[in-house]
Structure 1
Amino acid sequence: MENNNFRQIKSEIRILGIDDAPFTPRSSEDVLLVGTVFRGGQWLDGVLTTRIKVDGLDATEKIIEMVNRSRHMDQLRVIMLDGLTFGGFNVADITEIFRETGLPVIVVVRRHPDLERIKRALMHRFPDWRLRWAMIKRAGRIHPVEVRDTLYIQTAGVDLEDAAEIVRISTTRSSLPEPLRAAHLIASGVVFGESRGGA
């Protein structure tokens, strides 16, 4: 699929920001994924949820289902993920998410990932590490974006320049885009009874 062409990026572009809730590592439990629907970095319009397996292989499928069944689908313009992995090493395949939803995907992290360290961890823990590693590699190059602090992004279905502008538009209250900050706060609040940890 070709990249989506944003002729003009509006300040209230509809963004779905997705993060996972705290979980017990290497457990057999499900992990809550929370998606927040934002107009730019200003207004929260909705909350979506789904569940994935710790260290499973269902993050991609569950995100696609959550997006495609949402009543907000027609208004959404981009999906934003807090990293490529959820619930441990449950890797989201951003090219597949773009292909199945038609929505561009922007991965945002605060620190540049140590890919060699990640690869070693996958090789050590998972017989199917090649599959997980292939999804990570498909996410493409990691690019720095200057907002309040330096963030690092990967993209599928959107040009780097447009992705960087969307990140800047949505980063209004902290050093992280508001859709991701809110998803983090909601997810931890559901698990602990109140939100914890810096967002």
Structure 2
Amino acid sequence: MLIGTLFRAGNWLDGVLRTHITVDGTDATGSLIELVNDSRHWEQLGVMMLDGITFGGFNVVNIREIFQGTGVPVIVIMRKYPDLPRIKKALKNFPDWEERWDHILQAGEIFEVKVPGQEPIYMQICGLSEEDAREIVKLSATRSAIPEPIRVAHIIAAGVTTGESKGNA
């Protein structure tokens, strides 16, 4: 299960979305496009933030395809700089590893973002400028280095999958 939250500048939770993907599958990109396009909140979406570029193991999303399919810019957030050689090696266990690896490469440059008073985080972007993406990340990181939409989505997902979240309310 993937949980999405809709926020206004990291301060106001306006909605929650949900979809399902296959563990280690190839359906995350299509599922996210469908989730956004079928949402009654679609017109309100200014940007989509993703917690990494892989979900459910190695279900790798194509952020360019998501942007083209929805018209919503995408910011991929990573807590640590990814170990790309290790990821590539793990992907080689899949018959379509080259396509999955290509999605990671197509996501483009990895930028460090320094959130005041926090450890740096990293991002990849599609559909908006680096400067705008940095500003959005900083504005939405209201309680930690991780932008609030992602932090809250984690809390909700933990609560609905395990029965209790680990985060502080």
The TM-score normalised by the length of structure 2 is 0.96
Query: For 2:105 and 2:78, how far apart are their aligned partners in 1?
Result: 16
Instruction: Please name the residue that 1:70 is paired with.
Output: 39
The alignment partner of 2:76 has SS state of strand
Instruction: Please name the residue that 2:10 is paired with.
Output: 41
- 1:94 partner amino acid: I
Aligned length: 166
Match of 1:130 among 98, 105, 110: 98
Query: For 1:175 and 1:134, how far apart are their aligned partners in 2?
Result: 28
Structure 2 residue ranges without an equivalent (≥5): none
Shift of the alpha carbon at 1:196?
A: 2.6
- Give 1 or 2: higher strand fraction: 1
RMSD, aligned CA: 1.0
Q: Map residues 1-199 of structure 1 onto 2, 5 A cutoff.
A: 32-123=1-92, 125-147=93-115, 148-196=118-166
TM-aligned CA distance change 1:197 to 1:113, over 3 Å: farther
Query: For 1:175 and 1:151, how far apart are their aligned partners in 2?
Result: 7
Query: For 1:167 and 1:174, how far apart are their aligned partners in 2?
Result: 11
Shift of the alpha carbon at 1:149?
A: 1.8
Shift of the alpha carbon at 1:197?
A: 6.2
Identity of aligned residues (%): 60
Structure 1 residue ranges without an equivalent (≥5): 1-31
Moved over 3 A (4+): none
The alignment partner of 1:184 has SS state of helix
- 1:105 partner amino acid: V
Query: For 1:86 and 1:176, how far apart are their aligned partners in 2?
Result: 17
- Give 1 or 2: higher helix fraction: 2
The TM-score normalised by the length of structure 1 is 0.82
Query: For 1:194 and 1:152, how far apart are their aligned partners in 2?
Result: 28
- 2:135 partner amino acid: E
- 1:90 partner amino acid: N
Alpha-carbon displacement from aligned partner over 1:139-178 (angstroms, at most 9, x marks no partner): 0010000002201000001110100000000000112100
Query: For 1:179 and 1:154, how far apart are their aligned partners in 2?
Result: 17
